[in-house]
Amino acid sequence: MVKLTIPTPKAFQPLFEPGLRYLGAHGGRGSGKSHHFAERIVDEMIGDPKIRAVCIREVQKSLKESAYRLILDKIEALGVAGRFRVLHDRIETPEGGVVIFMGMQDHTAESIKSLEGFRIAWVEEAQTLSAKSLELLRPTIRAPGSKMYFSWNPRNRMDPVDGFLRGDDVPENAAVVQVNHDSNPWFPKELEAERALDKRMRPDRYSHIWEGDYEPQAVGAIWTMRDINEGREREIPNDIGRILIAVDPAVSSHERSDSHGIMAVASTESGHGYVLEDGSTRGTPERWARRAIAMHDHYQADGIVIEKNQGGDMCRHVLNSVRPGINIIEVHATRGKHVRAEPISALYALGRIHHVGTFPELESEMCQMTAAGYEGDGSPDRVDAMVWGFTELFPKLVNRSNEVFRQQAMAEMDYDVMQYETSNHRGRQSVAIGE
């Protein structure tokens, strides 16, 4: 029996504890996490040549986007090429072992059953793995002694893999390590030069790229954490003029449904907006209606905003069944989510909207809303509710034509929005407003 000797950084030692099923490594670029799991698969297959392993991404359009090349390189570097047979789409052993490569997005609960006999599943770029894919994959990899590897650079705390392996209720048979460039004793000088350059030239993205911190926002996000943080307040101001409870109900009410977005928002006589509370919840229509009405009473709000063309009649009926005659304000969606959101994001960039306190779930959704749409998992119900609320509070501003609004917003900013990504000016908005 061949036994490989593979030098391994100390940071990965917790992943060698006995009895583990879930092994995770998260961190920034150059940490060696992908190299570790590639070597581990080769080592496991040398120890048991009958092992079947699958390397998974959420989306994989070709082998170029997979770990195929990396595993081949490890086979060569470890001097065991004679023990494997390399095919155009897989790697096999003469004893019946195999490594395959696939994208989860292409599979259903039925088709994923083909993996039931596999003993290793390695999820690369696991930050992109959807909640549905994780739900399908975990019970499918169920052979005796099977293991699941996850490697990822976290985007935000709402990523399903982050919640599963770094949340409040992590499985007992899981071990997770954080590894970065300083954990890698073989960190190459070429990457060190790139790291130093990014630290100097891209300080806003450096901690995510190299230190494995949560991403400040999706690339091209119409909101940024800088905008949100700079406008954050501790207390509700004294000159509140109007308060609304905005609701964006989910289309279904089972336990895995999206949340019903329920936000308390306000405007002042000076023309500023405030997010007062995130009351979003899951459950039946009656549950969200009672929550919205309770918030309405607490803040002595002027009304409840609902979207007319998203089950508007049903929403009105549910609210009236709980509180007959409550003031309901109906809004009508004629444009996409991100288009509706852009005028509101510009108010953040101008320092006109403030969060009273911290709202992690809302802010995570905001920072994944881009000019091309929402990049997060599920639906941005909190953002939708907030946008409806502020749209009603600032109707004259957000109902202008896109071009008029765009020119006005850019004129009021202290930098060129279109050049923000490449300029040295300190701005608060990273994308242009309007179309």
- Higher pLDDT: 105 or 197? It is 197
* Fold type of domain 13-201: Rossmann fold (3.40.50)
What is the predicted pLDDT for the residue at 398? 60
Contact present, 240 and 299 (Cβ < 8 Å): no
Quick check: helix, strand or coil at residue 375? coil
Q: In terms of Cα–Cα distance, which of 315, 261, 306, 324 is closest to 286?
A: 315
pLDDT-derived band at 430, boundaries 50, 70, 90: very low
* pLDDT tops 60 at residue 417: no
What is the predicted pLDDT for the residue at 429? 34
Instruction: Give CATH 3.30.420.240 domain extents, the chain.
Output: 225-419
Sequence-distant (≥ 6) Cβ neighbours of residue 381 within 8 angstroms: 248, 249, 250, 258, 259, 260, 261, 280, 365
The residue whose two tokens read 């040295």 is: 424
Query: Whole-angstrom Cα distance, residue 30 to residue 37?
Result: 14
Residue 118's φ and ψ, nearest 5 degrees, are: -80, 140
Tell me the pLDDT tens digit for each residue of 234-271.
Answer: 889 999 999 999 999 887 655 556 789 999 999 998 99
What is the predicted pLDDT for the residue at 62? 81
Residue 20's φ and ψ, nearest 5 degrees, are: -85, 140
Tell me the pLDDT tens digit for each residue of 20-57.
Answer: 999 999 999 999 999 999 999 999 999 999 999 999 99
- Higher pLDDT: 158 or 102? It is 102
Q: Which CA distances in Å does 387 have to 217, 274, 350?
A: 18, 12, 16
Q: Which range (56-65, 193-202, 350-359) has the least confidence?
A: 56-65
Query: Whole-angstrom Cα distance, residue 37 to residue 124?
Result: 9
Tell me the pLDDT tens digit for each residue of 266-276.
Answer: 999 899 999 99
The mean pLDDT value for 98-102 works out to 96
Q: Which CA distances in Å does 71 have to 8, 47, 78, 120, 216?
A: 16, 16, 10, 14, 32
Sequence-distant (≥ 6) Cβ neighbours of residue 26 within 8 angstroms: 33, 150, 151, 152, 153, 154, 162, 165, 166, 176, 177, 178, 179, 212
What is the predicted pLDDT for the residue at 292? 95
List, in sequence order, every residue forming a beta bridge with 305; answer none if it has no partner. Answer: 246, 329
Which architecture does CATH list for 225-419? 2-Layer Sandwich (3.30)
Q: How confident is the prediction for the chain on average, in pLDDT?
A: 85
Instruction: Give CATH 3.40.50.300 domain extents, the chain.
Output: 13-201
- Higher pLDDT: 247 or 420? It is 247
Distance of CA 51 to the CA centre of its chain: 33
Query: Whole-angstrom Cα distance, residue 112 to residue 147?
Result: 16
Query: Whole-angstrom Cα distance, residue 110 to residue 366?
Result: 34
What is the predicted pLDDT for the residue at 60? 85
pLDDT-derived band at 410, boundaries 50, 70, 90: very low
What is the predicted pLDDT for the residue at 314? 84
Quickly list DSSP for 114-176: GGTT-SEEEETTGGG--HHHHHHHHHH--STT-EEEEEE----TTSHHHHHHHSSS--TTEEE
With a pLDDT cut of 90, the percent of the chain lying above it is 58
Radius of gyration of the chain (CA): 25
Residue 174 in tokens? 């899981």
- Higher pLDDT: 38 or 398? It is 38
Residue 130 in tokens? 């959807």
Tell me the pLDDT tens digit for each residue of 102-131.
Answer: 999 878 888 898 899 999 999 999 998 988
Quick check: helix, strand or coil at residue 403? helix
Which H helix or E strand runs over 388?
Answer: helix 381-393
* pLDDT tops 80 at residue 334: no
Query: Whole-angstrom Cα distance, residue 114 to residue 195?
Result: 41
The mean pLDDT value for 400-410 works out to 43
* pLDDT tops 50 at residue 411: no
- Higher pLDDT: 415 or 139? It is 139
- Higher pLDDT: 403 or 221? It is 221
Query: Whole-angstrom Cα distance, residue 120 to residue 126?
Result: 15
